[in-house]
Homo-oligomer: A and B are copies of this chain.
């Protein structure tokens, strides 16, 4: 049985969201309407064709992979003295910001600082126990965040790492991380 246009369209939105890999042909079968109807619907709803959808997803994930890298560290570490200090750089890309206002989401700045704090400690397994952080001023698209980390307290298996992130000379983030060497 066939749904009304409205119902079909809202179903389309949901379906394509849930499974962007669906072709018009498959959708047409699922809705038991012609392929042209599905295409008209996509036009009206502004849903791009499958290939474009996949391209979009690939693009988004491609940048993400490079910036919010699946590596151990977010941001590029440009210097590192184990158990002492380190510097990493993170350039704020479209993937890091709120669409509306181009301001970076806090957790990316946190991730950069946290990763650096963990990377700095010379041990196999290092975890964060706690942190106190402050977002001093919003960071916007394109700005280059340079995080400086310094170990300020060293105990056999416990470290306090201070991180300050700046854009040029402008402090944007400040954090104190309490990290520890865990037994594997």
Contacts and interface: CB of A to CB of B under 8 A. Distances in A.
Q: How many copies does the complex hold?
A: 2
A134 B55 CA distance: 39
B135 A132 contact: no
A77 interface: no
Given A70-B95, A100-B124, A59 B21 contact: yes
B124 A130 contact: no
Main secondary structure of the interface of A (DSSP, over half): mixed
B61 A60 contact: yes
Contact of A51 (B51, B111, B125): B51
Contact of A65 (B61, B72, B128): B61
Contacts of A70: 60, 64, 95
A129 B137 CA distance: 8
Interface stretch (A3-11, A101-109, A147-155, A163-171): A101-109
Contacts of A21: 55, 58-59, 62
Given A114-B110, A130-B134, A138-B127, A20 B58 contact: yes
Interface residues of A, number: 44
Nearest to A114: B107
A74 interface: yes
Contact of A133 (B20, B111, B131): B131
A51 B184 CA distance: 36
24 contacts: A54-B54, A55-B58, A57-B61, A60-B61, A60-B70, A61-B64, A61-B65, A64-B70, A70-B95, A72-B98, A98-B125, A100-B124, A101-B125, A101-B184, A105-B114, A106-B114, A106-B118, A107-B110, A127-B135, A128-B135, A130-B134, A130-B135, A131-B132, A138-B182
Contacts of A64: 61, 70
